[in-house]
Chains A and B, each alone.
Chain A
Amino acid sequence: MLRISIDKIDSLFAAISEKQALYIPADRADGAAEYKKYEAGMKLSEKLNTVRSAKDFFFPQTENLVEFKMEGKKIEVKDIRQESEDFVIFGVRACDARSFTILDKVYLVEPVDSYYKNRRDHGTVVTMACTRPSETCFCQAFGIDPTAPEGDCAVWSDGSYYYFKANTEKGQAFVDSVSSLLEDGDTAELDKTVAKTKEIMGRLPLAKLSTENFGGDKLNEYFNSDKWGELSESCLGCGTCTFVCPTCQCYDIKDFKTSDGIRRFRCWDSCMYSDFTKMAHGNPRLTQLERFRQRFMHKLVYFPANNNGEFGCVGCGRCLSKCPISMNIVKVMKALEVK
């Protein structure tokens, strides 16, 4: 398998970033990791994951759509879309990698979201297998193998080497572009690491979490469950879970009056917000209970109902660690579950 010694990774990053923009998870001053544009000297984070998910690369928090100019009754519309430049995201975990598949199901079906597609076409996802999963991890519940991540190209580490395997044509092109830096090597050490990780996966506190009692056909079982009141009673109605979530894909479209016109942009929205999907007649979901229910029903019931049983969650665990009141999808699943 093609590999590079860990201490040479800088040269690999340098080589990539020479040709296109490279983003890697790096540690911030406060200790948390976030994706940053690679610059010489930047170190790859050893954190399990970034606070914000990798969805930002394809579905950024805000994105300009179009601009208008008005003079009297004349309205001039300006298309401000620009073709993205090629870029590489390195070090995406298996959970986030799967989230792209979920976002694709929303944005790449007809009518195709050209803004999203543009970014998706130009981005190469290089994933990184996990070796130190955390107690908040439950990707297994959604059939994700963190030791064999998806993405254009997968990377493994055994502590001494990074191993590369292309999963797609784009991934192959990526490997080819840096092949001069890679060498072939055996995977005995790596196999041990993977086996060990798999063993740890089995011992995680949430290893037994199962989705078998959820899915598109469970609307009636869960929609009117009396658990929702208790689960949502302390929900603050903030958007933390939504905004750190790699699969949440809702947005709002707003107009901003600039100095010489109007800029229409879209930005992330959260179904936890009281003005979410507010229409002329008012708001369809009037209470926090309804809004809270929406988010979890969407991930566990509505999304699979429309997508051949695929759930709208990848088990990354971000909401478990970031929710201000520690309410999350795992607690919801455990409370609701009707066997």
Chain B
Amino acid sequence: MQETMINRAKQLLADGTVTRVIGWKRGEFAYDITPAVFESAEELESDFVFDDFTSANVSKYLVKESAKEGKVLVFLKPCDTYSLNQLTKEHRVNRDNIYVIGIPGGPKLDIEKIKAKGISGILSVRNEDYTLKIETIYGEETMPFSEAILDKCASCKSKKHVTYDELIGEDGDVLDSNRFDMVEKLENMTAQERYDFWREQLSKCIRCNACRNVCPACTCEKCVFDNPNSGVENKAASDSFEENMFHIIRAFHVAGRCTDCGECSRVCPQNIPLHLLNRKFIKDINELYGAYQAGEDTTSKAPLTNYTFDDCEASIVHERGVE
């Protein structure tokens, strides 16, 4: 797959279709892959990588890259194409300046899960028939592939590319995913249990903004949290309120726009399951206003900029579920 991608990228560079390629760059170790812009065949040859760790959603870079001169080639996994569609819909990217090659999606691996097994000093990770052979300084370790899958891949919503100019490999389908299971589990807890759950999680927050800065829906020219005039600007999670405030407002701002790419939780240095907040909104929207998946298309009206005369009242929150 990696070879095919490199070759096709080289072709498109050579024939002048594109001037740059967005993909992933090899790191120091087996897993520390960095999104990168490649400008030459040589760079592609030496650094381009596509493997079980290339999980980063590179669509957000298109905000910057598609505004530049010349067309840019981007490799997008199915989940990433939803993000691009949403960015297109919100006029944040210039789709005409982007050449999308759809590539197969995950499941991708989560190095944190491997490390959580106590495996350290990792030198290489090989997938042999869905068993990971991990070479370490302390000898070889093995673990099942399935136990090291990124959370976002374990609850994948779709293998379908919703936008592309060409595909490498077969296109898949929208999946009947289990992604709302955890949200539902929380919904079925008591308010006190939910409160305790979220306090434990959100109290870990160090307000590093990684979730916001990686989020393809968070492309504001100036974020309210960086704007002293917004009334919610803050830098430090110095009180439980600020953590709550930050995450509630952020989730609300991306409600109806979040494509559920799962990057927020993937990059959180404190492993806070932030995607659950976004999924809660998606689940509510689906249940209350009809199924809607942001990024599925570029024309439909987003649930929060739309309404029907017989929408449910806010009191529905009081009426349903466990108190």
Q: Are A and B in contact, CB atoms below 8 Å, in the complex?
A: yes
Name A's B-contacting residues (CB within 8 A): 28-32, 34, 46, 48, 51-52, 61-62, 132-136, 200, 203-206, 230, 233-234, 236-240, 242-244, 252, 254, 265, 267-270, 273-275, 320-322, 324-328, 330-331, 334
1/0 per residue, CB under 8 A from A, across B248-291: the answer is 00000000000000010011011100000000000000000000
Chain B residues within 8 Å of A320, by CB: 28, 32
A139 CA to B204 CA, complexed, in Å: 26
In the complex, which residues 34-50 of chain B have their Cβ closer than 8 Å to any Cβ of chain A? 34-37
A31 CA to B35 CA, complexed, in Å: 27
Contact residue among A51, A325, A327, A328 (Cβ-Cβ distance under 8 Å from B270): A51
Q: Is B224 an interface residue (CB 8 A)?
A: no
A234 CA to B64 CA, complexed, in Å: 10
Contact A326 to B33, CB < 8 A, known contacts A238-B214, A331-B27: yes
A196 CA to B259 CA, complexed, in Å: 49
Known: A135-B137, A240-B267. 10 other contacts (CB 8 A): A51-B269, A61-B206, A62-B238, A136-B29, A234-B37, A239-B208, A243-B208, A243-B269, A268-B235, A326-B33
Q: Is B232 an interface residue (CB 8 A)?
A: no
Indicate if the CB atoms of A244 and B34 lie closer than 8 Å.
Answer: no
Indicate if the CB atoms of A234 and B32 lie closer than 8 Å.
Answer: no
Main DSSP-derived SS at the A contact region: loop
A81 CA to B252 CA, complexed, in Å: 38
Name B's A-contacting residues (CB within 8 A): 27-29, 31-37, 56, 61, 111, 115-116, 118, 120-123, 136-138, 200, 204, 206-210, 212-214, 226, 234-238, 263, 266-267, 269-271
* 8 A–B pairs (Cβ distance < 8 Å), ordered by A: A61-B238, A200-B121, A200-B138, A230-B36, A244-B208, A244-B269, A322-B269, A326-B27
How far does the Cβ of B243 sit from chain A's closest Cβ, in whole Å? 11
Top 7 closest pairs, chain A to chain B, by CB:
A267-B236, A62-B238, A324-B267, A326-B32, A236-B213, A62-B236, A31-B116
A257 CA to B322 CA, complexed, in Å: 37
Indicate if the CB atoms of A200 and B137 lie closer than 8 Å.
Answer: yes
| CB closest chain-A residue, reference B116 | A31
Contact A274 to B237, CB < 8 A, known contacts A132-B121, A327-B34: no
Indicate if the CB atoms of A330 and B208 lie closer than 8 Å.
Answer: no
How far does the Cβ of A205 sit from chain B's closest Cβ, in whole Å? 7
Indicate if the CB atoms of B61 and A265 lie closer than 8 Å.
Answer: no
Contact A240 to B28, CB < 8 A, known contacts A204-B121, A205-B123, A274-B226: no
Contact residue among A32, A61, A273 (Cβ-Cβ distance under 8 Å from B237): A61
Contact residue among A30, A233, A238, A273 (Cβ-Cβ distance under 8 Å from B37): A233
Indicate if the CB atoms of B213 and A265 lie closer than 8 Å.
Answer: no
Indicate if the CB atoms of A132 and B120 lie closer than 8 Å.
Answer: yes
A233 CA to B226 CA, complexed, in Å: 21
Contact A234 to B116, CB < 8 A, known contacts A135-B122, A265-B236: no
Chain B residues within 8 Å of A244, by CB: 206, 208, 269
How far does the Cβ of A232 sit from chain B's closest Cβ, in whole Å? 11
A11 CA to B272 CA, complexed, in Å: 33
How far does the Cβ of A300 sit from chain B's closest Cβ, in whole Å? 17
A320 CA to B269 CA, complexed, in Å: 11
Indicate if the CB atoms of B235 and A267 lie closer than 8 Å.
Answer: yes
| CB closest chain-A residue, reference B111 | A321
How far does the Cβ of A30 sit from chain B's closest Cβ, in whole Å? 4
A107 CA to B239 CA, complexed, in Å: 25
Indicate if the CB atoms of B208 and A242 lie closer than 8 Å.
Answer: yes
Chain B residues within 8 Å of A327, by CB: 34
A234 CA to B206 CA, complexed, in Å: 22
Contact A324 to B120, CB < 8 A, known contacts A234-B36, A265-B236, A275-B226: no
| CB closest chain-A residue, reference B264 | A324
How far does the Cβ of A287 sit from chain B's closest Cβ, in whole Å? 11
How far does the Cβ of B112 sit from chain A's closest Cβ, in whole Å? 8
Contact residue among B29, B136, B238 (Cβ-Cβ distance under 8 Å from A267): B238
Chain A residues within 8 Å of B267, by CB: 238, 240, 324
Contact A331 to B236, CB < 8 A, known contacts A233-B36, A236-B213, A325-B35: no
A240 CA to B212 CA, complexed, in Å: 12
A234 CA to B65 CA, complexed, in Å: 11
Contact A243 to B238, CB < 8 A, known contacts A135-B122, A135-B137, A205-B28: no
| CB closest chain-A residue, reference B65 | A233
Contact A134 to B120, CB < 8 A, known contacts A324-B214, A330-B28: yes
Chain A residues within 8 Å of B32, by CB: 320, 326, 328
Indicate if the CB atoms of B29 and A265 lie closer than 8 Å.
Answer: no
Indicate if the CB atoms of A331 and B116 lie closer than 8 Å.
Answer: no
A58 CA to B66 CA, complexed, in Å: 45
